[in-house]
Structures are given as C-alpha cells and as structure tokens.
Chain A
C-alpha cells in the first residue's frame, strides 16, 4: 500500500472539517505517512478465514423499558452553547451566498 501524499492529507482534513495551513500540511503529512506505513502490517495476518471482532465483550439487544423519564431541561442543555435563540442552538448561515 502506498503512503499518504500531502494532497491526500489535505482532502482528508477537509472531510474531517479541519482547516489546514500549508505549514500544518508540511508538518503532519510526513508523520502520517510514516504511521500509515507502520500500521499497514495488519494486512499480513488478516486472512479471509479470520472473523472480525468489533467489540471486546459481546453483548446484544441491550434495552431498557421504553418509558418517559426526566431529561436535561432545555435551558441547561442550551446553557453552554456558543449561541442560542428561542430555545434552539443558533449557528451561522448554513448555505453560501450563491445557493
């Protein structure tokens, strides 16, 4: 498998919603590439006969009764929001000017 290129890191950062300057990309690309090369060895032993484990202690259908219980009051849920209005979280405009 090939290493991560600088352009890959830029694309991944955009997908992960992290702005990256040229300096960030310079610094992180080489490190990430070395890490990817090191972890790629997992493919050496992962044969098709080996099942995957997603969870260390298997459990299934963990339910509780579907009943109304007290929850966080609205004012406290909103208390730490950067901005709130009319009992809701307020954000900057969602679509660009051209939309």
Chain B
C-alpha cells in the first residue's frame, strides 16, 4: 500500500497519476472526502457535501479509463463549487437563508462543463450572502475560517472555495468575482484565483449579484492548475447573452511558457495609485504587503521583464462608483426572491405582506443595506447624481486602463492592502470592509481579467500576501504567463508551494 497523501498534490499531478494508473479517481475523491471530514468542522468551507455523487462520478471515470476510453485532461480530479452556481439536484443557497433547502431543477453551464469534463463535484462552498462581502461573515450559515489562522477571515465572498484549497480539502474550486471575490480570498489564503475577461465564462445558472460586473472563474493552489480549470470552464454559451463568442484563451500553454522563467520583452506596469507608495494612499497598506510586492517586482525584472510605472488617477473614484453600480443592479436582481416561485415564504394574509415578511426574515443585514442603497441610487431625482455619475466614472476608469496598457503588457499591484484580519473586526463598519476590494474593483468596472497569486508571508504576522496581475480584455493568457513565471521563481526559493507552509490543522478524531 502506498502512503502518498494525494490531497497534497497539485491537480496537474493528480491528472497525470490518474492517467498513469498510479491512483484511481475513487481513491482521490475518497481522500478528499476524508480530509473534509477530518478538518472542515472548524474551517467550515463547505455548506453541502455530495459524497455519493462525487464517488459515483469517480467510479465511472475509473471504469472508462480501465476500458481504454479517451478522457478529458482533468477527468477524475475532484472539484469544489461555490454555492452561487446552481447544481441540479444539489442544494444551492448562494449563502442566503432565503434559499435554504432549495434544490435547483437545472444545471448552470459551468456545472454542466465540470460534468462533461468528468470531474467529481465534492460539494458546495460557503460564501457571503449573494456574494456580498469580503470575509464570508455575511453568509447566512456562519463564517468560514482561514486555515492559516482560524481566528481570521478567509476573504470573501469566495472564502469557502479559497479555504477548501488552503486546507487541502479540494485541489480545485470554482469562484465568482464581482469586485474581487475570487482574487481577495486567494490573496489571504495563499492560493491562486483568476477573474477571466467579462463574458469569458458563461454565467448561465450563476445566481446574479451585479450583472455588469459578475464573472465566474477558476481557483487553485498553482497557476497551472488554475489554467487547466479555466479552460474547462470557459467558452461561448448562447444561453448567456454576454458570453464572448471567441475561443477560450490558451491558459495552459501560457502557464507552461511562463514556467520557463523567461519574461524577456514583457512590460510590467506598476499602478502607482494601488502600489502602496507613500505619496499615494500608502497609509492603508501594511508594511509586509509592500515589501513582498516590491520583492516580486525584482523577481520579474530578474527574469527579463521591464518594469514601468503607470498612473490611473480615476481609480480614486472606483470604490464609490462600484458601491453605486453594484447595489443598483443587486436591488433589481434580488427582486426575484419574492416568496412565490422558490425559497422561503413567511405566510401572511396578503401576498404583499408575505413578501415584506419573507424578505425581512430571509435576507441578512448586508443584503438589506445594498438593496436599500440600490433602491435609493435608482430612484427618481437621484438617478443622475448617483447611478448616472457612477457610470461616467466607469468610462474614466476604462480610459485609465486603456492608457496604461499602451505602456505595459500587464499591470500589477498588491491584491489587497493587508493580510487577513480577525473575524468580527470590520463586521459593524461596512465602509472599512469595502476597502478590502480597493485594488480589485477597477478590473470589474472595466471588464478586464485579473489574477491573484501568493507572493510570500508578511514578516510582521506570518500571514499570506497576494500579488495581482491585470491584463487587457481577451488577453487572459498573459496573466498565466507572468503568474507562472513569478510562481516558478518564488517556489524555487521556498522549496515548494507556499500553501505547504500553512500550519497543520487539527484533525477530528
């Protein structure tokens, strides 16, 4: 018997081992289910598990492999799915009590893609209610805890997916990113997350938060693993009118090219306003975050990249524009939770009173805040000043990016200004919570792709720091080339992935 701990391998290694017959998908899937049973109590990355479904998929993959059937690259490699995606027959709540117990009657395109790729779905991961938050503390089902320090936030809204990766409960996970919900959790858990170009991954069957900002994307522990999942998720889908009708970017090839550590001719633009430099809002940036960022720039330079500074002056207004556009769209999207067709109903004598009572009980405080804010921003008399102005800021931000990408192939910044803070620390101060996303939001407003990958631990607290890479729309592959190069350079020094340095979690008896 082998004593290999498969949960510690990368998805690429798992795929290769499956192909070589060194392990079966049932063994891999069971190893992850066992790991979840052992550590997920205190981590709480998962809202629902589907051991039977996952093992059934695994068994069929093993049978087909034994019979010599040709299989997709990730066939048999398990995956965790953020609870924002509807999954036929598997409970889906988007982290909200208003959808408690709802079993969707259909599959989202991405869950259908995962099934077509023959990947066992382990379960659904925790998230802030309807993806509104940066800490998972707004989940209707209790927060997820960061595996690096269980007293700290795992980021949000996709904290469940990121924590599942960091705790070795899953090798791959699905996320959604409206203002940083893939990248900020990746940053604070020392994992990798990518927000593709808007429209690059179908949103059919993704429970909508803000339709002009939302994008689904891949999460992994390595850049190559994330690239492999990206290629499974992406592609045109006529069920989503915003889906891009173009081929999926060659993410895997780009990651492999990047791993050769040659960035000759690549121009990397440091966004002055987001880099934490002392003359531009540097006061919010933690010292260790700045240090690891600057060290990463040196590494890129050593691999042949040219570093230039770019300025994006309108980014100062991005957070304000985002917190008008997002609530406006959310207030409209969440109108469907009305007690009629699905979800919670708090019965009263008329339908209107029933709706009032249902939405009061079913939504948490953050959802209520944002619905009211959006209702206000869209109301007659205020529309031009708020929503209209925010849409103009969006144009200014796009112009800033366009000018910056004239000077550089990719843009970089720290993903988030600090390492993970303590659970509860910002819960009663929404504005402080919103500041987590100051560096990730501009990409959503402009629709461009972005990646976060680990750049080290902050010396002062030993907690993960993330490095953000942004590319022009449709150029997702650039993220993987530059990201894989930086990762290769860093892991050489670390002697392996940063995720391996996470403290051992206590295993349930």
Report yes or no: A38 in contact with B320, Cβ–Cβ below 8 A: yes
A90 to chain B, nearest CB (A): 9
Indicate with 1 or 0, residue by residue over B392-418, a CB within 8 angstroms of chain A CB atoms: 111110100000000000000000000
Asked if A87 is at the interface (CB within 8 A of a chain B CB), the reply is no
A-side contacts of B339, CB under 8 Å: 82, 91
Q: Which of B4-12, B266-274, B299-307, B371-379 touches A?
A: B371-379
Report yes or no: B314 in contact with A76, Cβ–Cβ below 8 A: no
Indicate with 1 or 0, residue by residue over A41-74, a CB within 8 angstroms of chain B CB atoms: 1111111001111111101001010000000100
Query: How many of chain A's residues have a CB under 8 angstroms from any CB in B?
Result: 57
Asked if B248 is at the interface (CB within 8 A of a chain A CB), the reply is no
B-side contacts of A44, CB under 8 Å: 317
Report yes or no: A41 in contact with B317, Cβ–Cβ below 8 A: yes
Q: Which of B197, B331, B356 has most chain A Cβ within 10 Å? A: B356
Report yes or no: B395 in contact with A52, Cβ–Cβ below 8 A: yes
Report yes or no: B103 in contact with A42, Cβ–Cβ below 8 A: no
Among A1-23, those with CB < 8 Å from B are: 1, 4, 8-9, 12-20
A69 to chain B, nearest CB (A): 10
Asked if B369 is at the interface (CB within 8 A of a chain A CB), the reply is yes
Q: Which of A13, A14, A94 has most chain B Cβ within 10 Å? A: A13
Query: In chain B, what residue has the closest Cβ to A94?
Result: B351
Among B111-163, those with CB < 8 Å from A are: none
Report yes or no: B395 in contact with A42, Cβ–Cβ below 8 A: no
Report yes or no: B323 in contact with A81, Cβ–Cβ below 8 A: no
Query: In chain A, what residue has the closest Cβ to B388?
Result: A52
Q: Name the one of B105, B363, B365, B394 contacting A76, with C-beta atoms under 8 angstroms.
A: B105
Q: Which of B282-290, B342-350, B459-467 touches A?
A: B342-350
A53 to chain B, nearest CB (A): 4
* Known pairs A4-B376, A16-B371, A42-B321; A59 contacts B242 (CB<8 A): yes
* Known pairs A38-B431, A50-B396, A72-B106; A18 contacts B212 (CB<8 A): no
Report yes or no: A39 in contact with B324, Cβ–Cβ below 8 A: yes
Query: In chain A, what residue has the closest Cβ to B320?
Result: A39
Interface residues of B (CB under 8 A from A): 102-106, 197-199, 212-213, 238, 241-242, 244, 314, 317, 320-321, 323-324, 331, 338-345, 347-357, 359-360, 363, 365, 368-369, 371-373, 375-376, 379, 385-386, 388-396, 398, 430-431, 444-448, 473
